[in-house]
């Protein structure tokens, strides 16, 4: 007659199945945490890009080709570093986001419209960057 309970082999197989399941869940948790971090970063960079775009759209139109960069701290405030011309190299200490923007006259309407591009990327990782493009025209008089 067989004794009640589980054999050693049954227990080992059940433990292996549970261990494989837990390992799969751990990988899923790591991936979802990374996706959540990128989504949060994208939300912040999009908000910063929208603010810069609104600022540029409300300012007087500059028809020249210009490229600018601004270094932003963790809260999105400017670090007050000279932004013209576009600097190269590593950003200053305390940089959390890099905001690049440019104004370019449209080729078919050089005196009437400019294209405005804004790109905000987190520093040092570019995952979660946001890019906005708009066209600003001269008001009809």
- Number of other residues whose CB lies within 10 A of the CB of residue 68: 18
Residues 6+ apart with CB under 8 A from 68: 83, 84, 86, 100, 101, 102
Q: Tell me the whole-structure pTM to 2 decimals.
A: 0.73
pLDDT tens for the chain, residues 1 to 141: 566 777 889 899 999 999 999 998 999 999 999 999 999 999 999 999 999 999 988 887 666 777 888 899 988 888 877 655 455 677 888 889 999 999 888 887 777 888 899 999 998 888 889 999 998 887 655
Q: Are 130 and 119 in contact (CB under 8 A)?
A: yes
């Amino acid at each position: 007659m067989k004794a009640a309970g589980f054999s050693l082999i049954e227990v080992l197989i059940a433990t292996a199945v549970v261990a494989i399941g837990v390992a799969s869940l751990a990988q899923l948790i790591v991936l979802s945490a990374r996706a959540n971090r990128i989504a949060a970063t994208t939300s912040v960079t999009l908000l910063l890009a929208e603010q810069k775009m609104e600022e540029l759209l409300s300012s007087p139109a500059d028809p020249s080709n210009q490229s600018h960069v601004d270094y932003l701290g963790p809260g999105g405030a400017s670090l007050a570093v000279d932004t013209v011309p576009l600097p190269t190299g590593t950003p200053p200490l305390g940089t959390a986001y890099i905001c690049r923007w440019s104004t370019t006259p449209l080729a078919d309407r050089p005196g009437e419209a400019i294209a405005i591009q804004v790109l905000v990327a987190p520093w040092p990782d570019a995952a979660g960057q946001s890019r906005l493009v708009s066209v600003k025209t001269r008001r009809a008089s």
